[in-house]
Amino acid sequence: MAACEALAETLLPVNETFFTSELVYSLRYLTYEGAYSESQLYYVASSGSTCQAVDSQGAVSSVSCDAVLPALCSQSAAIGAAAEPTNSLTVSASNLTITGYYDQASFRFEGIPYANPPERFTYSTMYSGNPTLNATAYGPECIQSGVPPPYGSEDCLFLNIYTPYIPQDGTASTGLKPVMFWIHGGAFTSGAGSQSDGGNMASRGDVVIVTINYRLSTLGFLALEDGETNGNFGIADQILALDWVRQYIAAFGGDPTRITIFGQSAGAGSVRAMLGSEQTTGKFAGAIPMSNLAGSDYATTYSLYYTIPEEVYVAVDPILAEINCTTTNVSEALTCLKNYDAYSLVTLENVARYIVVDGTIITTDELVLNGTGHVARVQLMMGNMRDDGAAFIGYTNTTNLTAALEAQYLPTGVANNYLFEPYPAGPNATLDIFNVTARAATDVEFRCLDQATAWSGVTHDLFESVWYYQFNRSYQTPGFSPNYPVCEAPVTAEYPYGDPSQEYFKCHSGEVMYVWGGLGGSDTPYRDDEDLPFMQRMVDIWTSFARTYNPNPDTEYLTVRGYNNTLAAAYAEQSWEQVTESNFYTSALRTLQWASINTGFAEQPQCDYFDYPLSYYG
């Protein structure tokens, strides 16, 4: 009773229907985990003066009040509950005392500073301030276009933790959960960790979720030729946050030896940078880059890095000209940039948003995949949206394919090329043209070199394992629907929110809501009967990889937890195959859709045509 009172709760009231349905899954899972035996009893609310306990089958019996048993407590916090004294809790993490709160999904710790307030254009340092922290509200976002002060700030290096498990004594070494460390996307110019709520993923997947802020735009990526201002401040922030997590996460139930870093778009580019940085050696065990940009046009710099002189030429000199800082003295230029208003700096026409070869964090101009350079030997799962490139080209109102290709800086040889035939022939001729340009853009900016990454990783035995996917069902994140409405499922009278069974573009970021379990709210309603079970599958796949480094969820795990939708799919569909040298052309690609399938890598003859063969990286 005292243990429950410490959480402002009571011993769990007896409800026979709940006990023999939902509760039994949680108790059986404790047995599955090895935390307790199948015969274990758990204290629940007393009946008068008679003490009661429940077993793993949900049956309640009278027990001696002197018995030493684990206690089940009530959970009175609502879905999405705000922080109140009645649902708060405090964790002692080494030298820190951190107060968070809980809702129905998880324990939540929001706005934890992992670094001291950073001085502009210097590398961040581990937090050393007041050791007593209130983590019940998100910290400010890093200053960016559209987020002026006070909502955005240069003092923005905060992280958030969502966990299903708090060790009782704060020093547990057993029973710790896998950790998923999220790096948000946004072109290295926008985004925040608080935009992704990890409660659903933590609860359903039994993992600890960490989301972070890192410095953006010119404030995060300025590089000068002065030998000190070497750029990559945002990447350094990410690595420092990872160091903080490794030091403190055990107190929040996370296992520091089982960290999977994952990110989408620029977050995937960050994951890729970490895979090649010796500064991260041994700091994570798994990686999931989602829709990494690589190849030509806009995608180039996310995977092929500028030198510092190149960034100065491309970005810094135009920035200095734009703010009328005309000095040729590097020290004076730095002073000028330090004194310039932060929000004005990130909203200029020219910004520095590039990873650079700084000689310390990044030492090569790309991830070295031919077996001659450093690559983190970790478990790897990666992939892309079927139509990722549709977000990075314009919808050209033309029926002339050559003109459309020229307008999007795509190879005009795609026109009248048998590799891209048959061309779509629908009722909207301009949409047909866009379909071809979107396909080509996806190949040259995402698919080809990401598949080449997987090929080289396997061919040179660089990773512990490689798993590759393509999303063929999508749900655009609120506020981001490029070339509207092509990325939206068609609206019909029967499906007022869109019919995903019809054809539509599966665009960039279309996987994020599924992976995070974020659908079902007022701005993300379920469109059909498959959106919810498909989302459950995706959460189960991503968290399975974090738990076991295999994206095929264990059927016993699914059975014990009562995840029957995903269990049915596991029995109905062929298993996802690990990429091997023998299945590049047959079954290396997992297409994630309502009935997921395995095929060979997609569009490979087209990639060869673009000079992006599987052997591109050697």
CA separation for the pair 483, 510 (Å, rounded): 14
Q: Would you give the DSSP letter of residue 446?
A: I
Q: Over range 424-451, report the average pLDDT.
A: 95
Query: Tokens in use for 87?
Result: 């649902």
* pLDDT for position 170: 66
| Per-residue pLDDT tens over the stretch 180-193 | 999 999 999 999 99
* Residue 318 burial (10 A CB sphere; 0-12, 13-18, 19+): middle
Q: Which residues of 236-247 are buried (b: 16+ CB within 10 A; e: fewer)?
A: bbbbbbbbbbbb
Q: Is the pLDDT of residue 171 over 70?
A: no
| Per-residue pLDDT tens over the stretch 19-69 | 988 999 999 999 999 999 999 999 999 999 999 999 999 999 999 999 999
* pLDDT for position 474: 97
Query: What are the residue boundaries of the structural domains of the chain, listed by start?
Result: 2-62, 97-264, 379-609
If you classify domain 379-609 with CATH, what class do you get? alpha beta
CA separation for the pair 351, 89 (Å, rounded): 42
pLDDT band at 174 (very low <50, low <70, confident <90, very high): confident
The number of beta carbons lying within 10 Å of the beta carbon of residue 606 is 20
Q: Would you give the DSSP letter of residue 107?
A: E
| Per-residue pLDDT tens over the stretch 287-331 | 999 999 999 999 999 999 999 999 999 999 999 999 999 888 999
pLDDT band at 216 (very low <50, low <70, confident <90, very high): very high
Kindly list the distances between the CA atom of residue 374 and the CA atoms of 278, 362, 461, in Å, as whole numbers in the listed order.
Answer: 7, 11, 12
Q: Is the pLDDT of residue 556 over 80?
A: yes
* pLDDT for position 44: 97
pLDDT band at 425 (very low <50, low <70, confident <90, very high): confident
* pLDDT for position 169: 72
Secondary structure of 513-547 as H, E, C letters:
HHHCCCCCCCCCCCCCCCHHHHHHHHHHHHHHHHH
* pLDDT for position 422: 87
* pLDDT for position 496: 97
| Per-residue pLDDT tens over the stretch 454-471 | 999 999 999 999 999 999
* pLDDT for position 16: 85
Query: Tokens in use for 178?
Result: 């896998």
CA separation for the pair 234, 229 (Å, rounded): 13
Comparing CA positions, the residue from 497, 471, 454 lying closest to residue 617 is 454
Q: Over range 192-212, report the average pLDDT.
A: 97
Q: Is the pTM of this model over 0.95?
A: yes
Kindly list the distances between the CA atom of residue 301 and the CA atoms of 232, 276, 503, in Å, as whole numbers in the listed order.
Answer: 13, 15, 32
* pLDDT for position 366: 98
Average pLDDT of the residues of the chain: 96
| Per-residue pLDDT tens over the stretch 77-134 | 998 999 999 999 999 999 999 999 999 999 999 999 999 999 999 999 999 999 999 9
Place of tokens 């939902």: 22
Contacts of 448 (CB under 8 A, 6+ apart): 295, 603, 606, 607, 610, 612, 616
Comparing CA positions, the residue from 574, 601, 616, 380 lying closest to residue 470 is 601
* pLDDT for position 38: 94
Query: Tokens in use for 105?
Result: 């999904």
Q: Over range 579-598, report the average pLDDT.
A: 97
Cβ(195)–Cβ(276) under 8 Å?
no
Task: Give Cα 374 distance to the centre of its chain.
Answer: 24
Check whether the bond before 150 is cis (ω within 30° of 0).
yes
Q: Over range 152-170, report the average pLDDT.
A: 93
Cβ(457)–Cβ(369) under 8 Å?
yes
Element (H, E) at 440: helix 429-442
* pLDDT for position 584: 97
pLDDT band at 396 (very low <50, low <70, confident <90, very high): confident
| Per-residue pLDDT tens over the stretch 240-256 | 999 999 999 999 999 99
Q: 50 φ, ψ to 5°?
A: -95, 120
Q: Is the pLDDT of residue 486 over 80?
A: yes
CA separation for the pair 461, 464 (Å, rounded): 8
Q: Over range 185-205, report the average pLDDT.
A: 97
Highest mean pLDDT among 3-12, 73-82, 236-245: 236-245
CA separation for the pair 496, 527 (Å, rounded): 8
